[in-house]
């Protein structure tokens, strides 16, 4: 099955107005590509400065020849993903736009629209593919290295993909348990005394990890795994004195780990285990003057063989458009402050 059964392209010199009409051969797939109330087309219009007219399984693109060609490749990529049974959301549109911009054409002409990015697969979620080049490099690093550092802003998929990869390792029998951890540091607030048992006290800190687990596993399996010890969710301080074998260990929000905590955590790695360390160095909640263990560890260990490192930027954010713009504004301000 080809991605398109008809393409009409009125070729114009570069920089002039152009018009491209695409006709998708499957109306159901076309509607998934266009999105609910054509929201995916609306995003393409905003991002690429083109005009999209949808009519049934046809869409007409109008704008500069470069922008129309860019939009055409994006739509072909999205159609290819729908053909593979994948969902297409606004984040997928962003990823396709970014990769077309970076690579000119994401896929070879002979296999246009076919996804070649790395993927993870779990029983509940099915196959999940990387949305952009940074996520692709991240998944490749997770599969290749026993220890992986991932740095970057919020909204780039670091935690979500790491949890998905950990669940896939558990289901494949590569590891026997999951250990998911975060430093218990308040993000600017003082929560004070929290009632309840240990799990109830630390749940507010670990909620994003629970959310990721429930995305990739049935809630009953998550609860059963926690009860049996197959899944352990604990604050970083509880890692001291342990040697973790045949486990996938994820440390999230690692920018809030102190140097001593990071050294302690790294030395927990045991035989047959994998370790994933995520964080955003720009959002450290440690007291002023205290160095982040994540930044120190990356500087000390990045040259060692067997350790992977992936760096995300604001261009890799796959959340709402405003999140990318907000992250970019803060990073621009930080760069200006460093210059002054």
CATH of the domain at 10: 3.30.1370.10
- Residue 146 corresponds to which tokens in the numbers above? 């026993």
Residue 262: name the closest of 247, 248, 249, 245 by CA: 249
**Are 87 and 146 in a shared domain?**
no
End residue of a domain, out of 85, 116, 147: 116
**Are 151 and 180 in a shared domain?**
yes
Query: What integer pLDDT is reported at residue 100 of this predicted model?
Result: 74
Query: What integer pLDDT is reported at residue 20 of this predicted model?
Result: 87
Query: What integer pLDDT is reported at residue 202 of this predicted model?
Result: 60
Residue 141, domain member (yes or no): yes
Question: Which segments of the chain have a pLDDT < 70?
Answer: 1-16, 99, 101-116, 185-205, 319-321, 323-324, 340
Say if strands 51-55 and 17-23 run parallel, antiparallel, or are unpaired: unpaired
Q: Which residue has the tokens 């990769």?
A: 99
**Are 268 and 129 in a shared domain?**
yes
Chain segment 233-263, per-residue pLDDT in tens: 878 888 887 878 999 999 999 999 999 999 9
Chain segment 74-97, per-residue pLDDT in tens: 898 888 888 877 778 887 888 788
**Are 244 and 328 in a shared domain?**
yes
Residue 1, domain member (yes or no): no
Give the CA distances from residue 287 to residues 186, 198, 237, 291, in Å, rounded to whole numbers and listed in that order.
11, 24, 17, 9
**Are 76 and 140 in a shared domain?**
no
CB 305 within 8 A of CB 194: no
**Are 126 and 107 in a shared domain?**
no
Query: What integer pLDDT is reported at residue 90 of this predicted model?
Result: 81
* DSSP code per residue over 183-195: ----SS-------
**Are 145 and 250 in a shared domain?**
yes
**Are 101 and 153 in a shared domain?**
no
End residue of a domain, out of 82, 116, 150: 116
Spatial distance between the Cα atoms of 173 and 32, rounded to a whole number of angstroms: 35
Report the number of distinct structural domains present in the chain.
2
**Are 124 and 90 in a shared domain?**
no
Residue 61, domain member (yes or no): yes
Residue 189, domain member (yes or no): yes
**Are 53 and 194 in a shared domain?**
no
DSSP designation for 244: B
| Mean pLDDT for the chain overall | 81
Q: Which domain CATH number covers 325? A: 3.40.50.300
Q: What is the dihedral of CA 105, 92, 81, 36, to 10 degrees?
A: -130
Query: What integer pLDDT is reported at residue 194 of this predicted model?
Result: 56
Spatial distance between the Cα atoms of 178 and 185, rounded to a whole number of angstroms: 22
**Are 219 and 102 in a shared domain?**
no
End residue of a domain, out of 91, 116, 141: 116
Residue 251, domain member (yes or no): yes
Which residues are CB-neighbours of 98 under 8 A, at least 6 positions away? 132, 133, 315, 316
Spatial distance between the Cα atoms of 290 and 260, rounded to a whole number of angstroms: 11
Structural domain including 267 reads 120-339
**Are 169 and 28 in a shared domain?**
no
Spatial distance between the Cα atoms of 38 and 32, rounded to a whole number of angstroms: 9
């Amino acid at each position: 099955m080809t991605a398109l059964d008809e393409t009409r392209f009125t070729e114009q010199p570069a920089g002039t107005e152009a018009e491209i009409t695409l006709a998708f051969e499957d109306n159901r797939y076309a509607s998934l590509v266009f999105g609910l109330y054509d929201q995916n087309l609306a995003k393409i219009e905003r991002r690429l400065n083109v005009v999209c007219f949808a009519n049934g399984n046809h869409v007409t693109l109008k704008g500069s020849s470069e922008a129309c060609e860019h939009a055409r490749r994006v739509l072909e990529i999205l159609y290819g993903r729908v053909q593979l049974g994948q969902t297409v959301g606004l984040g997928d549109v962003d990823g396709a736009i970014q990769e077309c911009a970076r690579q000119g054409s994401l896929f070879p002409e002979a296999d246009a629209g076919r996804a070649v990015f790395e993927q993870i697969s779990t029983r509940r979620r099915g196959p999940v593919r990387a949305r952009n080049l940074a996520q692709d490099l991240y998944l490749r690093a997770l599969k290749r290295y026993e220890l992986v550092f991932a740095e970057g802003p919020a909204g780039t998929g670091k935690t979500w993909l790491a949890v998905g990869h950990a669940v896939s390792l558990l289901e494949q029998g590569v590891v026997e348990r999951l250990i998911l951890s975060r430093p218990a540091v308040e993000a600017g607030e003082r929560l004070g005394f929290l009632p309840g048992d240990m799990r109830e006290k630390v749940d507010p800190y670990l909620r994003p990890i629970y959310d990721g687990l429930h995305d990739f596993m049935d809630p009953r399996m998550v609860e059963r795994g926690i009860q049996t010890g197959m899944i352990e969710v604990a604050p970083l301080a509880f890692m001291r004195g342990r040697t973790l074998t045949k486990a996938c260990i994820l440390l999230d929000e690692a920018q809030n780990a102190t140097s001593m905590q990071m050294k302690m955590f790294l030395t927990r790695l045991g035989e047959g285990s994998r370790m994933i360390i995520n964080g955003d160095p720009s959002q450290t909640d440690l007291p002023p003057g205290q160095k982040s263990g994540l930044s120190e560890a990356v500087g000390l260990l990045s040259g060692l063989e067997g350790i992977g490192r992936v760096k995300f930027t604001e261009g890799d954010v796959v959340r709402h458009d405003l999140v990318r713009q907000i992250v970019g504004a803060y990073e621009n301000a930080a760069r200006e402050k460093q210059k002054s």
